[in-house]
């Protein structure tokens, strides 16, 4: 598969995976991307997950014919990209690893050797000449591990972007890019918005025509669209107008309130309402929605003097990722001592730049006329 005349795709598709990184459902599988830059010297960009090492080596052989790679450029040491380093180094005993010093520490941890005689340590701004192609390395710490670097090929104007601009889904999946790229970004890299923005700022100074990420499709058209979304995501900006309702419900009464709230919001002109039952939906999808829209309503039951477990988990997920700059409304339910709203307020106290809606809806077991009026008031504030 050709990316440019000299750059070929040699990655693999994983359609057997149950959970990516042990937690994310990936209904359309996952791609572990790798690329060969074929010049006077040949560089391979990253390896692949352990289960696909042989298939990847087969792709290298098919692509290079009788030629052999000179360099393995390791941009990221998470095992979805690094697990086949060892098998590569055994297959190509002349090859040299090019990576950051932090990566070599991890290489030793994973493989018991730092390949002292077969390595080139690079740092910010260092270059590697392959012939026609000159590669420049740009460090990208915490996008998404500390050792990460990305690579710019100024000859073909290609940015090899590591995990940035990646998405869930096998390489050839025909689906909306933003949906699975957003779920991927906020799930995996979201905590590191500041660091990801720094990378975008560095990349802004480069003339880029193609982005080659480690997951998902190669991006070669309309790059402004993808970079624009990444600018919004990494700065915790609001991407779409609308309100998210995230709820838990034990016997259906809080669900009824959430559904009624949705209708009221739409009646009042809210552009889009995303309704997520936290016990049943994909948590990563609910997290993605919360970051996508500007307003969020949390509706839950009081449970063991706290909130219902799925809501606790959801608020934790938002907190871990630095959720901020949003308006939040609260709905609580409790049959004898409803305290969920106060518990949520305490949990939200150390979130940055959160405005709480004035109206708090307190349901005691089932909805009353008074509750319906409160929901109307809350919808007015959150539309
Ligand atoms: Fe795709 Fe952070 O590994």
Class of domain 240-382: alpha beta
pLDDT given for residue 267 in this prediction: 98
Q: How far is the CA of 144 from the centre of ligand 1 (A)?
A: 7
Residue 65: how many other CB atoms lie within 10 Å? 8
Tell me the pLDDT tens digit for each residue of 72-95.
999 999 999 999 999 999 999 999
Could you count the other beta carbons within 10 Å of the beta carbon of residue 349?
A: 8
CATH 3.60.15.10 placement within the chain = 7-234
| Residue ranges matching CATH 3.40.50.360 in the chain | 240-382
Rg of the chain (C-alpha set): 24
- Per-residue pLDDT tens digits for 117-172: 999 999 999 999 999 999 999 999 999 899 999 999 999 999 999 999 999 999 98
User: What pLDDT was estimated at residue 172?
Assistant: 84
Quick one: CA dihedral 106, 110, 113, 115, positive or negative?
negative
Atom of ligand 1 nearest to the CA of 21: 3
- Arithmetic mean of pLDDT, 63-73: 98
Going by alpha carbons, the residue nearest to atom 1 of ligand 1 is: 163
The number of the ligand 1 atom at minimal distance from the alpha carbon of 162 is 1
Give 310's pLDDT tier (boundaries 50, 70, 90).
Answer: very high
Cα 93 to chain centroid distance, Å, stands at 35
* pLDDT of the residue at 1: 87
Average pLDDT over residues 17-43: 97
User: What pLDDT is stored for residue 327 in this prediction?
Assistant: 98
Residue 32 and residue 49 in contact, taking contact as beta carbons nearer than 8 Å: yes
Which residues line ligand 1 at a C-beta cut-off of 6 Å? 76, 78, 80-81, 144, 163, 214-215
* Ligand 1 centroid, distance to 78 Cα (angstroms): 5
CA of 341 to the centre of ligand 1 (A): 37
CA distance 30 to 24: 11
Is the distance from CB of 43 to CB of 10 less than 8 angstroms? no
Report percent pLDDT > 70 for the chain.
100
**Considering Cα of 309, then 314, then 318, then 324, what sign does the dihedral take?**
negative
Nearest CA to ligand 1 atom 3: 78
The per-residue pLDDT for 223 is 97
Average pLDDT, the chain: 97
Return the CATH class of domain 7-234. alpha beta
Could you tell me which residues come within 8 angstroms of residue 317 by beta carbon, excluding any fewer than 6 positions away?
Answer: 283, 287
Q: Is the pLDDT of residue 70 over 90?
A: yes
Give me ligand 1 centre to Cα 214, in Å. 8
Q: Which residues pair with 32 in a beta bridge?
A: 12
In the 8-state DSSP scheme, what is residue 221?
S
Ligand 1 atom with least separation from CA of 189: 2
Q: Tens of pLDDT along 251-272? A: 999 999 999 999 999 999 999 9
At 178-209, the pLDDT tens digits run 999 999 999 999 999 999 999 999 999 999 99
Euclidean distance between CA atoms 255 and 288, whole angstroms: 21
Query: 37, 151 in Cβ contact below 8 A?
Result: no
């Amino acid at each position: 598969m050709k990316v440019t005349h000299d750059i070929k795709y040699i990655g693999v598709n994983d359609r057997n995976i149950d959970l990516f990184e042990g937690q994310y459902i990936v209904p359309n599988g996952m791609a572990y991307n790798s690329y060969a830059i074929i010049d006077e010297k040949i560089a391979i960009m990253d390896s692949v997950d352990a289960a696909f090492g042989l298939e990847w080596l087969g792709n290298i052989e098919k692509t290079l014919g009788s030629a052999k790679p000179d360099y393995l450029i390791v941009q990221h040491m998470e095992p979805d990209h690094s697990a086949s380093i060892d098998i590569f180094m055994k297959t190509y005993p002349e090859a040299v690893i090019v990576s950051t010093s932090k990566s070599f520490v991890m290489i030793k941890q994973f493989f018991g050797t730092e390949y002292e005689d077969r390595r080139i340590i690079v740092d910010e701004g260092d270059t590697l000449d392959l012939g026609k192609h000159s590669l420049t390395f740009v460090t990208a710490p915490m996008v998404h591990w500390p050792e990460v670097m990305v690579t710019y090929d100024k000859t073909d104007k290609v940015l090899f972007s590591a995990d940035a601009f990646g998405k869930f889904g096998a390489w050839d999946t025909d689906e909306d890019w933003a949906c699975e790229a957003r779920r991927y970004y906020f799930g995996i890299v979201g905590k590191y918005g500041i660091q990801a923005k720094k990378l975008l700022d560095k990349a802004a100074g480069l003339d880029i025509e193609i982005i080659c990420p480690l997951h998902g499709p190669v991006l070669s058209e309309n790059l402004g669209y993808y970079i624009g979304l990444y600018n919004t995501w990494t700065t915790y900006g609001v991407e779409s107008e609308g309100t998210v309702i995230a709820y838990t419900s034990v016997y259906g009464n809080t669900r009824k309130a959430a559904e009624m709230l949705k209708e009221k919001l739409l009646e009042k002109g809210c552009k889009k309402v995303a309704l997520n039952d936290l016990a049943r939906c994909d948590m990563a999808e609910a997290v993605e929605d919360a970051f996508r829209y500007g307003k969020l309503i949390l509706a839950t039951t009081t449970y063991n003097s706290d909130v219902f477990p799925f809501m606790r988990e959801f608020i934790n997920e938002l907190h871990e990722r630095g959720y901020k700059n949003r308006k939040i409304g609260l709905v609580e339910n409790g049959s004898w001592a409803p305290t969920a709203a106060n518990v949520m307020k305490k949990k939200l106290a150390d979130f940055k730049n959160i405005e709480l809606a004035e109206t708090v809806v307190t349901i005691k077991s089932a909805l009353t006329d008074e509750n319906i009026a409160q929901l109307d008031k809350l919808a007015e504030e959150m539309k």
